[in-house]
Amino acid sequence: MVELTAAHWVYAIFIILILLTMSLRRETPLVCIIGSFILAWVITGNLVKAVQAVFNSVTVAFSELIGVVVIISLIVAMAKMLEESGIAEMMFRPVQGIMKSPGIAYWVMGFVIMIVAWVIWPSPAIALVGALLLPGAIKAGLPPISAAMAISMFGYGCALTTDFIIQGAPGITAKASGVAVTDVMGKSLPMLIVWAAIALPLSFLAVKKDIKATAGKPIEWAPFEIGPEARAEREKWTKAAPGFKKVALLIIAILFALVIVGMLVFKLRGGDATALLGGTVGLIMVFVAFGAYGKEGFGKLTEHARAGFMFGVRIFAPVFLIAAFFFMGSPGTAKAIFGEGARGLLFDLGQALANAVPLTRIPVAVVQAVVGGITGLDGSGFSGLPLVGTLAQALGGATKLDVATLGALGQYFAIAVGGGCIIPWAVIPAAAITGTDPVEIARRNLWPTLAGFLGVVIVAIFML
């Protein structure tokens, strides 16, 4: 039997408070900092050490997750560079000609968003692909609200929930779960297939109704606009160095293909795969800086790198504070904060729960899915990953069920709910680029997403 101490109860109480805070659509870092301080005080019995532990836990979280922040920041910086220089437009020009009908436009736009989102993350992918493909999709007869549905369902429901290439989401989940990132990604694949097979056709049924309702009518659309300064800057550089850009397009495609081949041939996973991708992105930025911008490339690379890292820090700053609290209860990271004698509080709580109430795979899967969904209510998706990861470790270790499957399940629900499918305040990027109502997008995505969730839970139960 696991003996629960005051620290266990404090940890459990603050987990509940964090979930309640998320369900009320309030930011959770404030609660997490208070929880970290009180928990550290209970564990150490020393006020000074408790204050130090608040800081130390954040630095541990930062050191564990910094690779994710850097790779996403670099990729966003590269995407901004390719967009401003006009290389991105050249990339998508062949795709624009494929969209001959509204139905084709929906699927083409969705799949392109998904692929680009896997490579450069959904937020920059939406801005990049949306700005370049959306006018063609609208011209083909696809209503803006339908385009927004494609963006959110494919970009977030398929791409960000799995995040196979950048490995940001599975990287955080794996760290908190105590398993390999490849295990989490492997377990995510069947969930993705089942969710997509259910949710995407259902989503398209709703889109077909929109297409039928707007057939033969002019489509009202408020096109996405950038500021006048940014527009003038883009027009200036889009026309520059046309010969270089044609060559650059081929070279960039070859480099990314070589990265994927290198990952497969040399069996690079996790941090090694991220390092190869990140280094390649950095070299591409240097290549584009000199070739597209000439002598102004020195300043342009710095400008876009700054914008990329500002994006990365803005997205992940609250995640560090949230992860700091949950890492206090995870066996590996707790030792880095409190020393070798630290206990895995959440693991102990899971053991105690399993001893008190016999947990089988069905209730465990349902609990993990519900908790993941609740953590997504803040509209981030990523802020709940430390919790679903540590909870997967606790429940899986206590019940002998597969920890990686539980982590992937919680991750899928957290990101699909909070990342940009069924929460209005999470679909704002898709709404902004299409000029549509985020509440209406979320309403239309609701039932297809929930039906897909049911399939995900069922397949997870069989995988546990």
Tell me the per-residue pLDDT of 382-398, one tens digit each, with 9 for 90 and over: 877 888 888 898 888 77
Q: What pLDDT score does 318 carry?
A: 84
Q: What pLDDT score does 9 carry?
A: 93
| C-alpha distances in Å from residue 204, one per residue of 124, 142, 210 | 24, 12, 10
Tokens 């050490």, located at residue: 49
367 in Cβ contact with 401 (< 8 Å): no
How far apart CA 276 and CA 411 sit, in angstroms, is 25
pLDDT digits (tens, 9 = 90+) for 264-277: 788 776 678 778 88
157 in Cβ contact with 381 (< 8 Å): no
Residue 379 has pLDDT above 70, yes or no: no
Go through 346-369 and write b for each residue having 16 or more CB atoms within 10 A of its CB, e for each that does not. Answer: bbbbbbbbbeeeebebeebbebbb
Average pLDDT over residues 59-83: 85
Q: What pLDDT score does 227 carry?
A: 66
Q: How confident is the model at residue 42 (pLDDT cuts 50, 70, 90)?
A: very high
Q: What pLDDT score does 237 carry?
A: 83
Q: Which two tokens stand for residue 32?
A: 């997490």
Go through 119-137 and write b for each residue having 16 or more CB atoms within 10 A of its CB, e for each that does not. Answer: bbbbbbbbbbbbbbbbebb
Taken in order 308, 314, 318, 321, is the CA torsion positive or negative? positive
Q: What pLDDT score does 54 carry?
A: 94
277 within domain boundaries: yes
- Where is mean pLDDT largest: 18-27, 193-202, 303-312? 193-202
Radius of gyration of the chain (CA): 23
Q: What pLDDT score does 245 carry?
A: 87
427 in Cβ contact with 152 (< 8 Å): yes
Average pLDDT over residues 42-62: 93
User: pTM of the entire structure?
Assistant: 0.73
Average pLDDT over residues 90-105: 85
pLDDT digits (tens, 9 = 90+) for 177-206: 889 999 999 999 999 999 999 999 999 998
Average pLDDT over residues 13-34: 85
Tokens 């206590």, located at residue: 398
195 within domain boundaries: yes
293 within domain boundaries: yes
How far apart CA 79 and CA 124 sit, in angstroms, is 7
355 in Cβ contact with 1 (< 8 Å): yes
Q: What pLDDT score does 89 carry?
A: 80
Q: What pLDDT score does 219 carry?
A: 74
Q: How confident is the model at residue 223 (pLDDT cuts 50, 70, 90)?
A: low
Count up the domains in the chain and report the number: 1
Q: How far is CA 307 from the centre of its chain?
A: 19
Q: What pLDDT score does 351 carry?
A: 67
Q: Worst-scoring range by mean pLDDT, 75-89, 219-233, 294-308, 444-458?
A: 219-233
- Where is mean pLDDT largest: 113-127, 136-150, 419-433? 136-150
23 within domain boundaries: yes
Give the range of the structural domain holding residue 193, as residue numbers without chain letter: 6-463
**341 burial via Cβ count (<10 Å: 0-12, 13-18, 19+):** exposed
| C-alpha distances in Å from residue 114, one per residue of 109, 123, 175, 429 | 9, 11, 25, 15
Q: Which of 223, 222, 219 is nearest to 211 (CA)?
A: 219
337 within domain boundaries: yes
278 within domain boundaries: yes
**From the CB of residue 306, how many other CB atoms can be counted at a distance below 10 Å?**
12
188 within domain boundaries: yes
97 within domain boundaries: yes
Go through 7-23 and write b for each residue having 16 or more CB atoms within 10 A of its CB, e for each that does not. Answer: bbebbbebbeebbebbe
**From the CB of residue 214, how many other CB atoms can be counted at a distance below 10 Å?**
18
How far apart CA 302 and CA 54 sit, in angstroms, is 33
Go through 310-328 and write b for each residue having 16 or more CB atoms within 10 A of its CB, e for each that does not. Answer: ebbeebbebbbbbbbbbbb
pLDDT digits (tens, 9 = 90+) for 316-370: 788 788 888 888 887 778 888 988 878 778 767 766 776 676 778 898 998 888 8
Residue 135 has pLDDT above 80, yes or no: no
Residue 374 has pLDDT above 80, yes or no: no
DSSP 8-state secondary structure symbol assigned to residue 436 = -
